[in-house]
Structure 1
Amino acid sequence: MTTFKDKADSRWDTGQKLTIAEILEIFTNGDLPLRFSAYDGSTAGPADAKYGLDLKTPRGTTYLVTAPGDLGMARAYVSGDLEAVGVHPGDPYEILRVMGEELHFSRPDAMTLASVMRSLGWETLRPVAPPPQETLPRWRRIAEGLRHSKSRDAEAIHHHYDVSNAFYEKVLGPSMTYTCAAYEDADRTLEQAQENKYRLVFDKLRLKEGDRLLDIGCGWGGMVRYAARRGVHVIGATLSAEQAEWAQKAIAEEGLSALAEVRHSDYRDVQETGFDAVSSIGLTEHIGVQNYPAYFGFIQSKLRDGGLFLNHCITRPDNTRSTKAGGFIDRYVFPDGELIGSGRIITDIQNVGLEVRHEENLREHYALTLAEWNKNLVEHWDECVAEVGIGTAKVWGLYLAGSRLGFERNVIQLHQVLSVKVPAGGNVGLPLRPWWVA
């Protein structure tokens, strides 16, 4: 029986070139769950497959060869050199699912690799410029400052959050909430689940009229306005100028200016202290794991004795892996973003003197949230493309769908950790059992 390796060796002996499709078959042992076609006219995989990939240009091959893995695939896809067939670009979830579950690659021996490269042409190894949506690699971002310095954090936030408020309105929906929702059940709408998330945070923090809340990384001010509507005095801080402008306008339109304020500010520049509660919803991912002690120490210093702190962030399922994000996420979505397990977060919160009282994992809730954001992107695709361009819109479709798979497969999680600043003597004055409705 002739193997794909035998075919490569035979072509080497006769000086013939392999087609693009034959090369893919070599790397997958011919086990393709989707239809593949290439610019050289070659095809592979089941002819009746529901999903497929169409490699349209030699540049796409260069992207794939020079950056194997998710970064090369993203470059080829975002640039339009690789097309996903059978899915909408605003929601490529199904093809990503099939590829993740059924497409497996192996590394051929040296002779086969030599035959592959002779067929592709050595010029394929010459890197070409990535799509304009890609940011610089970590080692070249030093011009923006040291990692997690104020200047570099501001640039990282600008890259992701200052895309366009109009774009975010289409994708996130009326709540303008870009964090995991909390679903009472799977039949709830996205807006109901986001409102429930704010209710959950508000209740866990035992906020009441007249209290003072600091919301760090407040985004478009969803938590700020939720608390202010209930008589809480709130300061929100965000590094995104567009978020701050949108949030301040929304605060004014709701008549909440006497209670709420969103500052375009680094959280480290907040001078006020003595808060009854601090919320951090979706910011810890941007802090840098080595900076957790300083971050949580800052929060501890802002709380009054007996004050509560809720940290809501994406985590890894363990505390042993690399904290750095993969190539696609780091270069296209969250530059300098880092994740670690909830154990490390809890440890560092405890080490600054806060007492952890409760934690829970909302992993499945984030998968549901992301699916709804993908639906919104598909529904408003033409408007989103007009607002940010086809490349950026495709980045978002890929990012949201891939993240959904990550939460479904327990590659990433979402943890809420509740803690309290214990006064001298240890009496925090909290109920003996959880006081909120889960």
Structure 2
Amino acid sequence: MTIAETVHFGRLSLPNSAVRARIAEALFRHAVRTLPVRVTLPGGERLGAGGPEAPVMRIVRPQAFFHRLGVDAKIGFGESYMAGDWTSSQLADVLTPFARRMATLIPKPLQAFRRFVDLRQPSAERNTVDGARANIHRHYDLSNDLFANFLDETMTYSAAWFAPGSTDLAEAQRRKIDGILDYAGVREGSRVLEIGTGWGELSIRAARRGAHITSLTISTEQKALAERRIAEAGLAHLAKVELMDYRDATGTYDAIVSVEMIEAVGKEYWPTYFAALDRLLAPGGRVGLQAITMPHDRLMATSDSYTWIHKYVFPGGQLLSVPAIERHSRLRIAERRSLGLDYAHTLRQWHQRFEANWSTIAAHGFDGTFKRMWEFYLGYCEAGFRSGYLDVWQFGFEKAR
């Protein structure tokens, strides 16, 4: 079944869908009545507490919209945007107020029923060695050309770190990478392991410091492009890329770096991931880790839920909280910094580039439903970081000698 077929037919035929839709409509109206947005419906009805300057959410097909919310709000809200049931020219601005009140959009007495209505993550998306490869393939192997058309020249797919007053995305990405390499103490002669290659920019910058770096990826598309970029930079003698799961890694390294890969590990395998860091790191070594986080109470409440992001973007993914990272790691956190607002700026630039280059992206075989899916993904994530519901941290860990 294609993405479009999944969106248009979904699970709208479930029994009692009309009852679910009425309940969903009542909850939605209750949720938006105090939000600083303007919600418009056919016929001129308006909802929300936003004034003339507030961002506008236009519900085009109310019946389909509320049916999808009734089936599963966590998935249906995004599917409705993909299907065109609602739209907005200010997507991240509309979604930010929802994100700010994520924990209270559903009245507290009704939150107790979450376990009866929330879908659970499919067992097929568990991050076993084979499952992780399949999950990564569904996102990162979509097309190198797709990513090249909204990322900057560094091909870096994670939060940038902007210098004060700067809007240069490539410069901010290199600053971020240098920050994580500094946290890991990477210098000339360092033996470095990177878990999660991306498209090679971190390996290139580590090698330019004179370090010997081994980078692990389970994406064939990323490996091919990263190796090509490393070779073109004349650094193949210092940097190598291996198609390998972190669980299979061997050896001892002075430094380990991992940038926004831990979100793909899955809660079940967090202990395995942190044990691998400890096992592979030499005494006195350091780790530079960049991780997206959510509030710990929300992690505890939602960690088993199956969401729109799981279904369409990152199967098997799970964000951590700062306390979860602190509890699972055997290494001491020596340094840390938050880049949450920098991620919001990063995502906005990605969204702008995606829209500007859509005709080129579409030429690679991506359709209008995919376009709306990607718009919602980028806007949804930007709203999360703008609202403070999501954050991203750089951590510097150290191992005792």
Matched position secondary structure for 2:302:
coil
In 1, Cα distance between equivalents of 2:135 and 2:225? 19
1:311 aligns with 2:274: no
Instruction: State which of 167, 175, 180 in structure 2 corresponds to 1:201.
Output: 180
- Deviation for aligned residue 1:357: 1.4
Cα deviation, 1:367-416, whole Å, max 9, x if unaligned, reads 12112111211221222233322222222211121111211222111122
In 2, Cα distance between equivalents of 1:154 and 1:340? 21
Aligned structure 1 segments of 4 or more residues deviating by more than 4 angstroms: 23-27, 29-33, 46-50, 57-61, 98-107, 137-141
Instruction: State which of 86, 89, 109 in structure 2 corresponds to 1:86.
Output: 89
In 2, Cα distance between equivalents of 1:101 and 1:308? 35
Q: Which residue of 1 aligns with 2:395?
A: 417
In 2, Cα distance between equivalents of 1:63 and 1:326? 15
Matched position secondary structure for 1:171:
coil
Cα deviation, 1:172-211, whole Å, max 9, x if unaligned, reads 1111101111122142311111010111112222222221
Instruction: State which of 331, 346, 353 in structure 1 corresponds to 2:311.
Output: 331
In 2, Cα distance between equivalents of 1:233 and 1:216? 14
Sequence identity (%): 27
Residues 25 and 44, structure 1, Cα contact 8 Å, conserved in 2? no
1:75 aligns with 2:79: yes
Query: Which AA in structure 1 matches 2:400?
Result: V
Q: Which residue of 1 aligns with 2:131?
A: 152
In 2, Cα distance between equivalents of 1:290 and 1:194? 31
Q: Which residue of 2 aligns with 1:434?
A: none
1:253 aligns with 2:232: yes
Q: 1:215 to 1:60 in 2, by over 3 A?
A: same
Gapped runs of 5+ residues in structure 2?
1-20, 108-118
Q: Which residue of 1 aligns with 2:7?
A: none
Q: 1:26 to 1:149 in 2, by over 3 A?
A: closer
TM-score in terms of structure 2 length: 0.80
Matched position secondary structure for 2:149:
helix
Q: Which residue of 2 aligns with 1:65?
A: 70
In 2, Cα distance between equivalents of 1:418 and 1:405? 27
Q: Which residue of 2 aligns with 1:322?
A: 302
TM-score in terms of structure 1 length: 0.74
Which structure has the larger Rg over C-alpha atoms? 1
Residues 346 and 417, structure 1, Cα contact 8 Å, conserved in 2? no
Q: Which residue of 2 aligns with 1:407?
A: 385
Q: Which residue of 1 aligns with 2:145?
A: 166
What RMSD, in angstroms, separates the aligned Cα atoms of the two structures?
3.0
Q: How does 1:284-299 map to 2 (within 5 A)?
A: 284-299=262-277
Matched position secondary structure for 2:393:
strand
Matched position secondary structure for 1:422:
coil
Q: 1:188 to 1:139 in 2, by over 3 A?
A: closer
Q: How does 1:200-239 map to 2 (within 5 A)?
A: 200-239=179-218
- Deviation for aligned residue 1:261: 1.2
Residues 221 and 247, structure 1, Cα contact 8 Å, conserved in 2? yes
Q: 1:395 to 1:26 in 2, by over 3 A?
A: closer
Residues 244 and 264, structure 1, Cα contact 8 Å, conserved in 2? yes
Query: Which AA in structure 1 matches 2:67?
Result: T
Residues 274 and 303, structure 1, Cα contact 8 Å, conserved in 2? yes
Select between 98-107 and 197-206 the one with higher mean Cα deviation.
98-107
Residues 220 and 243, structure 1, Cα contact 8 Å, conserved in 2? yes
Residues 325 and 337, structure 1, Cα contact 8 Å, conserved in 2? no
